[in-house]
């Protein structure tokens, strides 16, 4: 099942990635086996029994926090367990469970497990499981699912931290097992890291104290096997009992008078004296040793991060291998790709990127492919590899490049295999003085429409909202019929169903295509892709690169492409931007596209339209009915030069941290 694969990737991110939300939350884990006898028919007796059981579980969980039971007789009997976290009771619990059951029972327009008899869903604040097999009476906790926070404690205190967490969880488990709702929370100050550790445990209410404590004791004792002890947080989710711990400045649960406080934070007034004395002693006696240890520790953390990413990717590939027949995603042997690309020869090389090279290959009994070979020991490359197999494999649209599969060989070789695009990328044509003449305006307009349809799918019609963040001419590939296909989703970002934008300190993308609010303030939204699309339209119309400097004849100054185009539009001389090889036969259509492009690159993101509106405007041949574009972004004067300056770094991908 594809859900298994996606949840293994969560181990890397510690953030949910499923496409279906319940109560505003997204499942960490969803298991919906699709065996031949594992489904039920619509309007069947099993479905009626399931609906009745769901109503009973929701009602009892709303009152008591958890519930277990069954409904109906064999062969249509249904067994189920539901649980809401102890601080999410009452109507909040009912809403969560109702949405989850609706998604699992195909009663929404975004079903999660269509007509499956055996379903398990684990969310942050609630969870449920139902099946046609009796798992209730045995109090089994399967399936159990471990998750890790990605941040690490200092390696020198990892053992002490593991003991500290175990003591906190055991004390909290003793308290929870003795309480009627089988829910407990606690906190304890971890002196070595100067931070509080928070813990939460819970069992279903129908378990007696001894059974609850035994269940919690088992998963606590198995934590060293299931979780990485060096990471500052983790959780183990199960049907009957669960736990979570985090070292953080704030708790992840509601603290009340039931919360245990094992070790309290020391009086902060004594800390300045302790820190000053210790600092002077360390600086005098251990300066050089400390510097060397710090350098070694940094190197060790980098190697550990690479190993962790590599192991997580290996787990993803293992599940792909188990489910290859149902996923439509192929796992290739390294020897086959090596033969197909003639041992990755220079003749097969199509291009090089920041984290690897792309080769053309002919599979023995299949189509031509493009194989992207990840550079060895690249942490960012591994993240992009994970992002591609997590995201692109489940995005299907005629204007998105298709990911056929991947290959992993040992610790070094990781390869993504795409469908081959014989006409390479858009920049090969529009920026070449000879090849640009092969693209008349109807073909360019067809490419513009294709890109817009691909973006519209990513933003609004796919199972999740995806912001590409690196849309540019070199990332638009062209097939044999010159159909545009958006590629390279290595730095794409997924947005939840209720999130319109997010803020980040890590800015990624390509200079000249990055929206100003993202570059300056780190605000990322679908409007950033709209901005990049507008820049791309201007490049297609003009045959000029966004990274160049262009002289405006009125004042003799040099401007970037966006500002240059806006000045020409404002002065009614827009036609001077048009690529000379296009002639003057399609002025009306070109003018409409230029106006839409300028609407997309307006300085204020609020003034830009969403992609559905942009698609409608591109189909409007009556330019007079379109709004007048406002001031463009990046309206800065370039340094004076002897003539139009060619672009010096028009395709540089950047990744930077911006302080705030």
d(CA 108, CA 100) in angstroms, rounded, equals: 10
CB 495 within 8 A of CB 638: no
C-alpha distances (whole Å) from 512 to each of 185, 517, 535 are: 50, 13, 8
Residue 652's CB is within 10 A of a number of other CB atoms, namely 13
**Can the peptide bond before residue 143 be classed as cis, meaning omega within 30 degrees of 0?**
yes
CA triple 438-442-444, angle to 5 deg: 65
CA triple 476-477-480, angle to 5 deg: 145
DSSP label of 566 = H
d(CA 373, CA 337) in angstroms, rounded, equals: 10
Please name the residue that has the structure tokens 């400390």. 290
Catalytic residue among 206, 427, 470, 579: 470
C-alpha distances (whole Å) from 606 to each of 500, 591, 601, 603, 626 are: 12, 23, 11, 9, 17
d(CA 282, CA 288) in angstroms, rounded, equals: 10
C-alpha distances (whole Å) from 357 to each of 66, 352, 404, 474, 653 are: 53, 4, 17, 14, 15
372 is in an annotated binding site: yes
* 470 tagged catalytic: yes
Listing DSSP states for 309-375 in one string gives: HHHHHHHHHHHHHHHHHHHS-EE--HHHHHHHTTTT-GGGEEEEETTEEEEEEE-TTS-EEEEEEEP
CB 473 within 8 A of CB 538: no
Chain centre to alpha carbon of residue 161: 30
CA triple 329-330-335, angle to 5 deg: 155
* Binding positions for ATP: 372
Which active-site residues does the annotation give?
470
């Amino acid at each position: 099942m594809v859900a298994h694969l996606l949840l293994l990737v969560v181990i890397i991110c510690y953030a949910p990635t499923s496409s279906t939300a319940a109560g505003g939350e997204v499942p960490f884990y969803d298991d919906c086996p699709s065996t031949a006898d594992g489904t039920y028919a619509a309007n069947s007796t099993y479905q009626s029994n399931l609906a009745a059981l769901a109503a009973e579980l929701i009602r009892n969980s709303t009152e008591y926090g958890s519930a277990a039971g069954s409904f109906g007789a064999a062969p249509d009997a249904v067994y189920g367990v539901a649980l809401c976290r102890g601080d999410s009771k009452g109507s909040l619990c009912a809403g969560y469970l109702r949405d989850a059951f609706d998604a699992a029972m195909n009663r929404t327009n975004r079903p999660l497990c269509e007509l499956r008899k055996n379903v398990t869903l684990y969310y942050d604040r609630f969870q449920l499981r139902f099946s046609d097999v009796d798992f209730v009476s045995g109090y089994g906790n399967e399936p159990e699912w471990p998750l890790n926070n990605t941040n690490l404690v200092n390696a020198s205190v990892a053992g002490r931290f593991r003991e500290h967490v175990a003591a906190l969880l055991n004390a909290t488990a003793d308290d929870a097992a003795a309480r009627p709702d089988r829910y407990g929370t606690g906190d304890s100050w971890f002196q070595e890291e100067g931070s509080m550790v928070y813990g939460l445990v819970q069992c279903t209410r129908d378990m007696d104290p001894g059974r609850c404590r035994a269940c919690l004791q088992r998963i606590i004792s198995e934590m060293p096997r299931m979780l990485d002890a060096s990471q500052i947080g983790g959780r183990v989710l199960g049907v009957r009992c669960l736990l979570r711990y985090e070292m953080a400045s704030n708790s992840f649960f509601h603290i009340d008078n039931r919360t245990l406080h094992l070790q309290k934070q020391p009086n902060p007034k004594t800390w300045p004296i302790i820190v000053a004395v210790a600092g002077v002693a360390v600086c005098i006696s251990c300066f050089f040793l400390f510097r060397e240890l710090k350098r070694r520790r940094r190197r060790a953390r980098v190697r550990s991060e690479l190993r962790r990413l590599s192991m997580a990717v290996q787990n993803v590939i293992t599940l792909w291998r188990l489910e290859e027949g149902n996923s439509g995603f192929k796992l290739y042997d390294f020897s086959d790709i090596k033969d197909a690309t003639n041992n990755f020869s220079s003749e097969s090389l199509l291009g090089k990127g920041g984290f690897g090279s792309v080769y053309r290959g002919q599979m023995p009994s299949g189509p031509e492919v493009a194989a992207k070979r990840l550079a060895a020991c690249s942490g960012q490359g591994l993240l992009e590899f994970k992002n591609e197999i997590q995201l692109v494999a489940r995005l299907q649209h005629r204007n998105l490049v298709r990911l056929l599969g991947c290959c992993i060989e040992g610790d070094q070789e990781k390869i993504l295999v795409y469908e081959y695009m014989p006409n390479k990328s858009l920049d090969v044509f529009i920026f070449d003085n000879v090849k640009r003449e092969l693209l008349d305006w109807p073909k360019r307009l067809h490419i513009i429409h294709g890109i817009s349809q691909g973006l519209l799918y990513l933003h609004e019609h796919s199972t999740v909202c995806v912001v590409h963040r690196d849309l540019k001419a070199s990332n638009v590939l062209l097939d044999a019929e010159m159909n545009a296909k958006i590629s390279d989703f290595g730095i794409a970002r997924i947005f939840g169903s209720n999130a319109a934008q997010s803020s980040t300190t890590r800015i990624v993308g390509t200079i000249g295509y990055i929206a100003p609010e993202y570059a300056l303030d780190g605000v990322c939204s679908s409007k950033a892709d709209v901005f990049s699309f507008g820049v791309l339209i201007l490049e297609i119309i003009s045959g000029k690169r966004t990274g160049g400097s262009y002289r405006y004849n009125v004042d003799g100054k040099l401007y970037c492409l966006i500002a240059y185009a806006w000045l020409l539009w404002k002065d009614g001389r827009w036609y001077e931007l048009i690529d000379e090889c296009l002639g003057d036969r399609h002025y009306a259509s070109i003018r409409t596209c230029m106006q839409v492009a300028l609407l997309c690159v307006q300085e204020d993101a609020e003034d830009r339209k969403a992609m559905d509106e942009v698609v409608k405007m591109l189909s409007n041949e009556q330019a007079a009915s379109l709004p007048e574009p406002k001031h463009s972004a990046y309206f800065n004067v370039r340094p004076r030069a002897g003539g139009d300056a060619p672009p010096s770094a028009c395709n540089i991908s950047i990744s930077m941290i911006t302080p705030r």
